[in-house]
Amino acid sequence: MRNCGSNCRRSVKFVTVCRLRVTLFPVPKTLVINEIYLSLQGESTFAGLPCIFVRLTACNLRCSYCDTAYSFTEGKKQEIQEVRAEVNRLAEPFAAKTDARLPLVELTGGEPLLQKDSLSLMKALCDDGFTVLLETSGAHDISAVDARVRRIMDLKCPSSGEESRNRWQNLEHLKGTDEIKFVLGTHEDYEWAKAKITEHNLAAICPLLLSWVHPLAPEQQDKSLKPVPPGQTPISRQELAERIIADSLPVRFQVQLHKIIWAPEQRGV
Ligand code: SF4
């Protein structure tokens, strides 16, 4: 092999200078953010509490019932410190009124874990003293998330059209402070969730949420969403509640509180 001589030495020098510049002037960490707003937490064991939502842009799934398709592409690049400052600004009015650190802060999406710097944001918000929640699809590795974060992880049921994306290895990383959420729209989803709860002894890991799918408003029905697979029978809210009781399932039934308080298609609530 021929030695390229002085060119190589020049590139070594160039790389060294670049490294020095990166060390002296680190590139700020950024995220693509869809929206940040203060509202009430509508789901999980934290439902009803004031919560600041940080919605991150992009998701690589297309669940049939997704009500935040606008977050797939809409967003603006922001430095982590800007996001952190905005969260602290929104939280300021609560500061003198409670010992417990409210509001909560939730990273949601889209899928927050698609952006690696979301890990740094969660750590920074924990350092600021917030109770930080992460809503994740369950399709990505959750093991690197700060241990202080409450991870609310979906297990995608058949009617989502995304069942094959469940990353089952995540179960071994869940703790008692995390939560597993099943979003159910059909009787087949219910039977599937019930079977998985038994098969993996999920109730021994953390709280389990069974969330009834609120039908999408026409403007929320993005064309890219997966269709509900054939052979599925819709389940009503009442039927779901009654099945849980009849089967003595150790779960928490939930509806999306924000869709009862505000119009189901309203953003920023
Ligand atoms: S995981 Fe599914 S429901 Fe959540 S943002 Fe992505 S497509 Fe929507």
| CATH classification of the domain holding 130 | 3.20.20.70
In our burial notation (b when 16+ CB lie closer than 10 A, e otherwise), range 50-68 reads bbbbbbbbbbebbbbbbbb
Is there a domain that residue 53 lies in?
yes
Mean pLDDT confidence for 23-50: 92
Query: Mind listing the pLDDT tens digit for each residue in 194-247?
Result: 999 999 999 999 999 999 998 888 888 999 999 999 999 999 999 999 999 999
Range of the domain at 194: 28-261
Q: Whose CA is nearest to atom 7 of ligand 1?
A: 62
Is there a domain that residue 10 lies in?
no
Cis peptide before 48 (omega within 30 of 0): no
Is there a domain that residue 19 lies in?
no
For residue 134, the SS3 value is strand
pLDDT above 90 covers what percent of the chain? Answer: 80
CA of 28 to the centre of ligand 1 (A): 28
Short-list 123, 154, 158, CA closest to 136:
154
Using alpha carbons only, what angle is made at residue 73 by residues 107 and 124, rounded to the nearest 5 degrees? 25
Q: E-strand spans in 145-216?
A: 150-154, 179-184, 208-212
Confidence of residue 96 (pLDDT cuts 50, 70, 90): confident
DSSP code at position 86 = H
CA of 112 to the centre of ligand 1 (A): 11
Contact by Cβ (8 Å): 70, 121 = no
Q: Whose CA is nearest to atom 3 of ligand 1?
A: 66
Is there a domain that residue 206 lies in?
yes
Is there a domain that residue 156 lies in?
yes
List of residues 6+ apart from 171 with CB closer than 8 A: 200, 202, 205
- Determine if residue 9 is left, alpha or beta; phi over 0 gives left, psi from -120 to 50 gives alpha, anything else beta: alpha
Is there a domain that residue 16 lies in?
no
CA of 81 to the centre of ligand 1 (A): 26
Mean pLDDT confidence for 99-119: 93
Contact by Cβ (8 Å): 253, 240 = yes
CA of 202 to the centre of ligand 1 (A): 22
Domain count across the chain: 1
Task: Give the type of residue at 108.
Answer: T
Mean pLDDT confidence for 143-149: 98
In this predicted structure, what is the pLDDT of residue 26? 74
Which protein residues are within 6 Å of ligand 1, measured from CB?
A: 59, 61-63, 66, 68, 109-111, 137
Short-list 80, 27, 87, CA closest to 51:
87
Is there a domain that residue 243 lies in?
yes
DSSP β-ladder status, 132-136 and 179-184: unpaired
Is there a domain that residue 20 lies in?
no
Confidence of residue 249 (pLDDT cuts 50, 70, 90): very high
